[in-house]
């Protein structure tokens, strides 16, 4: 007695392998998805690097401003350059390579207020710059410092 397999005889096309066109389309889809994932990952790493650099720049500016707030009025307004007008700080000062160099300037100007106490205030502007690859980046922070500020509580 001969046994005939119905699946093999009637549905022979169901047992065939993928065609070359189907395989090529599938590999194209997988390649596109992989390229999109790699682009997303590299963009994410670059965004994290930019966020860290921005945060470090902000920390440096705030450190300078908070230090200035603790100086006496005579130190702030002295003409012998008690507070240096330019500075350089690094992304990772504990690293031997020191990381990214942040260069900045401090500018003291008359406060833009039209009140009787305007002679007792200074406008402080901290500008900081650094390079991310070939991209130049800058940030600016402006604040007011008064004659009767925090330094009177410290000294």
Q: What is the pLDDT of residue 129?
A: 96
Q: Give a yes or no: residue 101 inside a domain.
A: yes
Q: Report residue 16 as tokens.
A: 């065939």
Per-residue confidence (pLDDT) for residue 90, from 0 to 100: 85
Whether residue 125 lies inside any domain: the answer is yes
Is 56 within the bounds of a domain? yes
> CA distances (Å), 113 to each of 16, 48, 91, 119, 148, in order?
85, 39, 36, 9, 16
Q: Which domain holds residue 42?
A: 6-154
Q: Residue 24: what pLDDT?
A: 93
Rounded CA separation 21/10 (Å): 25
Neighbours of 111 (CB within 10 A): 17
Asked whether residue 121 is domain-assigned, the answer is yes
78, part of any domain: yes
Q: How many domains does the chain have?
A: 1
Q: How far is CA 117 from the centre of its chain?
A: 38
With respect to residue 1, please indicate whether it lies within any of the assigned structural domains: no
Which tokens belong to 143?
């604040």
- Count of Cβ atoms closer than 10 Å to residue 151 Cβ: 19
What does the chain look like in DSSP terms, one character per residue? -----HHHHH-GGGGS---HHHHHHHHHHHHHHHHHHHHHHHHHHHHHHHHHHHHHHHHHHHHHHHHHHTS-HHHHH-SS-SS-SEEEEES-TTSTT--SEEEEEEEEEE----STTGGGEEEEEEEEEEEETTEEEEEEEEEEEETTSTHHHH-
Between 131 and 99, residue with greater pLDDT? 131
Indicate whether 58 belongs to any domain. yes
- Give per-residue pLDDT as tens, 101-143: 899 999 998 888 887 777 888 899 999 999 988 889 999 999 9
**Residue tagged 């390579």 (tokens):** 97
In a domain, 15, yes or no: yes
Could you report the per-residue pLDDT of 34-84, keeping only the tens digit for each?
A: 999 999 999 999 899 889 899 999 999 999 998 888 888 888 888 777 888
């Amino acid at each position: 007695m001969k046994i005939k397999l119905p699946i093999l005889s009637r549905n022979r096309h169901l047992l065939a392998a993928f065609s070359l066109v189907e395989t090529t389309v599938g590999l194209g889809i997988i390649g596109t998805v992989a390229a999109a994932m790699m682009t997303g990952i590299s963009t994410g790493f670059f965004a994290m690097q930019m966020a860290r650099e921005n945060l470090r720049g902000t920390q440096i500016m705030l450190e300078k401003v908070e230090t200035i707030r603790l100086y006496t009025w005579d130190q702030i307004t002295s003409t012998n350059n008690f507070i240096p007008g330019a500075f350089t700080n690094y992304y990772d000062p504990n690293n031997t390579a020191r990381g990214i160099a942040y260069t900045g300037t401090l500018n003291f100007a008359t406060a833009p207020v039209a009140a009787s106490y305007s002679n007792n205030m200074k406008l402080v502007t901290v500008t900081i710059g650094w390079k991310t690859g070939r991209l130049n980046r800058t940030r600016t922070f402006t604040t007011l410092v008064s004659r009767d500020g925090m330094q009177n509580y410290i000294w």
